[in-house]
């Protein structure tokens, strides 16, 4: 199996690409505040706040985490199904990023946030995950080795303009191999997610297949 490596990614995408931050309209502060309040109102009473991580939150949560557990979420699966035109892409070279879509199951991690200052930590997560209008936030029940926990999950917003649906894996890999933005390349994002899943023993044939497809395309681009 062809493997994605940092050397291969660096050979094709040696640096970031500046998009001037104008590639997509972002949620307003009022939108973010309203959706956060709605999510907090719907939160089941009691207990710590857990967040279900299945992509970059696994390797770059950007908020303090006091406990991590492997977890399985039923009824949702991870898929590159959300259009991205900035961050790790541009309008000229779009990318598809991970979202939780309906059906199946997803092996990921749950992250427990500290109780002190949790409101401000959720605001930081909202600024990161909800700013692009690609997700809905909802409370889900995830299974862990120490028992089930209620966790916050960011699931794909199917009615939104960014939802791409179920594109063929080969087509998704074409987009991902070419895409790069101010935060780096789409291939690097895939590699980080794949490596984290492997390090924690998370079984995901889809990630394994996607990293091989993107690696093959990067090799072809390097050899041209």
Q: Which two tokens stand for residue 199?
A: 């390090």
Helix orientation angle between 169-178 and 186-199, rounded to the nearest 10 degrees: 120
Q: How far apart are CA 177 and CA 37, in angstroms?
A: 38
55 touches 78 (CB < 8 A): yes
Beta-strand pair 50-53/149-156: parallel
CB atoms within 10 A of CB 210: 23
Catalytic residue list: 129
- What region does 20 belong to: left with phi over 0, alpha with psi -120 to 50, or beta? left
Burial 98-112 (b: 16+ CB within 10 A, else e): bbbbeeeebbbbbbb
């Amino acid at each position: 199996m062809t493997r994605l490596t940092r050397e291969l990614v660096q050979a094709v995408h040696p640096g970031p690409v500046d998009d001037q931050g104008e590639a997509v309209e972002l949620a307003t502060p009022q939108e973010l505040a309203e959706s956060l309040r709605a999510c907090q109102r719907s939160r089941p009473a009691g207990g710590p706040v857990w967040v279900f991580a299945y992509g970059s939150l696994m390797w770059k949560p950007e908020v303090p985490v006091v406990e991590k557990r492997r977890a399985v979420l039923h009824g949702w699966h991870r898929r590159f199904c959300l259009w991205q035109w900035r961050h790790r892409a541009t309008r000229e070279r779009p990318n598809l990023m991970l979202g939780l879509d309906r059906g199946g199951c997803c092996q990921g991690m749950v992250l427990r946030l500290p109780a002190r200052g949790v409101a401000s930590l959720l605001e930081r997560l909202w600024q990161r995950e909800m700013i692009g209008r690609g997700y809905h936030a909802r409370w889900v029940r995830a299974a862990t080795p120490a028992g089930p926990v209620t966790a916050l999950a960011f699931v794909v917003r199917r009615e939104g303009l960014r939802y791409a649906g179920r594109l063929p894996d080969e087509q998704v890999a074409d987009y991902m191999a070419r895409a790069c933005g101010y935060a780096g390349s789409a291939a690097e994002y895939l590699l980080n997610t794949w490596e984290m899943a492997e390090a924690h023993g998370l079984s995901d044939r889809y990630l394994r297949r996607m990293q091989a497809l993107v690696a093959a395309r990067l090799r072809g681009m390097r050899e041209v």
